[in-house]
Structure 1
């Protein structure tokens, strides 16, 4: 389950600044199997004595598993934020090429988040969430937290007591604090910075081991939750999951389209040439669902597009290590979906908080497996929006399907960014 070897991203190009985190192999297909089995059992036993007996067993099991997922969110997010932002600061000092790339990455992540909070509600108005999806929220679901109005929102950005903020899962002030801490580390002596980074590195690894244990129990936990969902929704649960996969993947398609706009419009590469050169890398992305595994194919696509070798060999490995273009857009799409599901009003302050947290959290979760980054990335966004996170425990079981779109769009955007940086560097020269 856990491998203490160096993180794979460190083996490619100029990414030896990447944090070395434990590698966790998760039972993805078993989790999907637990979901399907739970839905089928719940449908078959609904409104029977056997169903009532199963409910008394599975409800506490599912709740315990969900709480086990939640307990690691704050410490792991804190550790990953400090390490991720420190890594970005180090990358920014690598030269003008790195700074141009990071500026473009910043713009893409922010605009992706904004696009999601604008387009996702429109998409859900055109294609409403099936009524059966309400079963994802059990009777014991936590209440949505109210989001303050603008004046209270501004005052809430700074927490006078971090422990109180953590106990209240106030993610936005916690995110701001740990982002500032990461920046402050760049201004203290190297020996002190190394000590603190080693602490957060160890904290992240310990939390990853714990969440790895929890996610190895995902087939049982998801099964227990799915039994209750199917008992409430019947066969409509499958329809609801299909609707969720389609609309969330649509936000990934927006980022994919943006990658073509950058490659063709900003980098001024012919549409046919750009499309053709990307096909091998995209095929690897779809088959492996791994940006890292797609790196050799991305370098080959860069060569086909005549990107200078020194730019491609710097930008693409760095992009794999620190950049996941779809994170804000697709993570916000999930949070907005759950907000609509729970009937939470999406106020301007809630959306501002969501975009801010989504942007910062995306920096710290790049190197994590999909199932872990799903919980760690979307949980803080939902909490910042005042949205219950209970449905995430079910939705994580089908994340492998939207993850195909995530990887496809990420790989395409990485090459598009390399093209744009190369053209910018060439024009500057």
Structure 2
């Protein structure tokens, strides 16, 4: 939390300094060159971890999700419901994101500056044919060299599915090796993130110099959009519990209050798990008390309802700020990668896996990832809402699945 607050402070100071420098007409050429150098070096250090993290986490996450979902009928129903809700999360963000983000319209000069600042990955998704062809690569080494995430993610997904079909002892050996590689990469990510206040301050200075104080308005619009979409998803979970789980809204709201309070104060779904288990036990019908104990750990680990929507909103916000147009085929790819990104960061801290989860969607849409550190810095605010909504969704899935066990 201290590092997160320091990163947020660095962003605010950087944007303010950049905007003030331009507003006062102070010499900015050398300062901008230095800020761009520092910011780019730091950003490139994070970029180099994205591909290996995506491959290792996707393969291990897929195999473990398959293994977890094979634990019985009630677990499979909960897993299918959770996966369906992740699809809904991405769809809701695609529906609500554009009108909410359009409340702040950057001026043409700012758009031109941001377009020139980004470093998009080669390739495009101009139509459905290009999008489909981009999902499979005959040369994975070339795809990695070009930063083409979708074919690498699909290969890792298939690798994980195939690994899960091997004898259990061989599966464990393969997954342990990949997990250890991922842990090593995450250590490197931690080193880079230790310098986040400096890197983000440099990027913020460059952004403030281009957009002035309008950069703050842009980030405020992003934060407001994330919170609004997340709250809509959270409220929908009450309806799910009432309609599919046949749990009265008042009873569900009363049971969810304590886990939600823990989630809001700790910003950790795992920390709220004991309170969720107690709440789900009270909501479960007679004879189904054991179901929540089996469902909730899986739900907490794999199904973060707010995550697909958050990834989609980041992509839409980047497109809005840079004046890019996303085709339906590109949006479909972004939606799929947002769900995959949610599954691969299962059980890991958001800050350390932010780039692995969020960058693939941006890269697939041919958008620059330069703004990702700035979004990460301000995510300390909507992260409270993410966690509360995730906990509410986990409880709703547990209550609904436990009810279906009795039918």
- Name the structure 1 match of 2:204: 226
- Cα pair distance change 1:48/1:138, threshold 3 Å: farther
**Alpha-carbon deviation of 1:319?**
1.2
Counterpart-to-counterpart distance in 1, 2:276 and 2:171: 34
- Name the structure 1 match of 2:54: 77
Counterpart-to-counterpart distance in 2, 1:352 and 1:282: 32
Aligned pairs (5 A) from 1:307-322: 308-322=288-302
Q: In the alignment, is residue 105 of structure 1 matched against residue 82 of structure 2?
A: yes
- Name the structure 1 match of 2:276: 298
- Name the structure 1 match of 2:385: 405
**Structure with the bigger percentage of helix:** 2
- Cα pair distance change 1:133/1:205, threshold 3 Å: farther
Counterpart-to-counterpart distance in 2, 1:239 and 1:340: 13
Q: In the alignment, is residue 235 of structure 1 matched against residue 213 of structure 2?
A: yes
Q: In the alignment, is residue 34 of structure 1 matched against residue 6 of structure 2?
A: no
Query: Would the aligned equivalents of 2:120 and 2:369 in 1 still touch at CA under 8 Å?
Result: no
- Name the structure 2 match of 1:284: 262
Aligned pairs (5 A) from 1:27-426: 27-46=3-22, 48-125=25-102, 127-131=103-107, 134=111, 137=114, 139-143=116-120, 145-306=123-284, 308-426=288-406
**Alpha-carbon deviation of 1:150?**
1.8
Query: Would the aligned equivalents of 1:291 and 1:410 in 2 still touch at CA under 8 Å?
Result: yes
**Alpha-carbon deviation of 1:412?**
0.3
Unaligned stretches of 5+ residues in structure 2: none
- Cα pair distance change 1:230/1:135, threshold 3 Å: farther
Counterpart-to-counterpart distance in 1, 2:104 and 2:393: 29
Deviations 1:113-154 (A, max 9, x none): 1222222123334x2444497599374321465214222322
Q: What's the TM-score, normalizing by structure 1? A: 0.89
Deviations 1:149-195 (A, max 9, x none): 22232222211000111111211111111100001112223443233
Partner SS for 2:76: helix
Deviations 1:367-393 (A, max 9, x none): 221223322211001111222111112
Counterpart-to-counterpart distance in 1, 2:159 and 2:250: 46
**Alpha carbon RMSD of aligned pairs, Å?**
2.0
- Cα pair distance change 1:117/1:60, threshold 3 Å: same
Q: What's the TM-score, normalizing by structure 2? A: 0.93
Deviations 1:249-307 (A, max 9, x none): 22212221221121111111111111122111111111111101111121222133245
Counterpart-to-counterpart distance in 1, 2:384 and 2:85: 20
Counterpart-to-counterpart distance in 1, 2:19 and 2:79: 50
- Cα pair distance change 1:191/1:285, threshold 3 Å: closer
Partner SS for 1:72: helix
- Cα pair distance change 1:196/1:344, threshold 3 Å: same
- Cα pair distance change 1:346/1:282, threshold 3 Å: same
- Cα pair distance change 1:93/1:251, threshold 3 Å: same
- Cα pair distance change 1:135/1:305, threshold 3 Å: farther
Deviations 1:50-92 (A, max 9, x none): 5333222211000111111111011001111111111111112
Counterpart-to-counterpart distance in 2, 1:32 and 1:185: 41
- Name the structure 2 match of 1:17: none
Counterpart-to-counterpart distance in 1, 2:113 and 2:352: 20
- Name the structure 2 match of 1:21: none
Partner SS for 2:380: coil
Unaligned stretches of 5+ residues in structure 1: 1-24
Query: Would the aligned equivalents of 2:6 and 2:197 in 1 still touch at CA under 8 Å?
Result: yes
**Alpha-carbon deviation of 1:233?**
2.1
**Alpha-carbon deviation of 1:317?**
1.6
**Alpha-carbon deviation of 1:48?**
4.2
Query: Would the aligned equivalents of 1:133 and 1:240 in 2 still touch at CA under 8 Å?
Result: no
- How many residues are paired up? 402
Deviations 1:309-344 (A, max 9, x none): 311211112211222111111211111111122222
Partner SS for 1:157: coil
- Cα pair distance change 1:135/1:281, threshold 3 Å: farther
- Cα pair distance change 1:415/1:395, threshold 3 Å: same
- Cα pair distance change 1:122/1:41, threshold 3 Å: closer
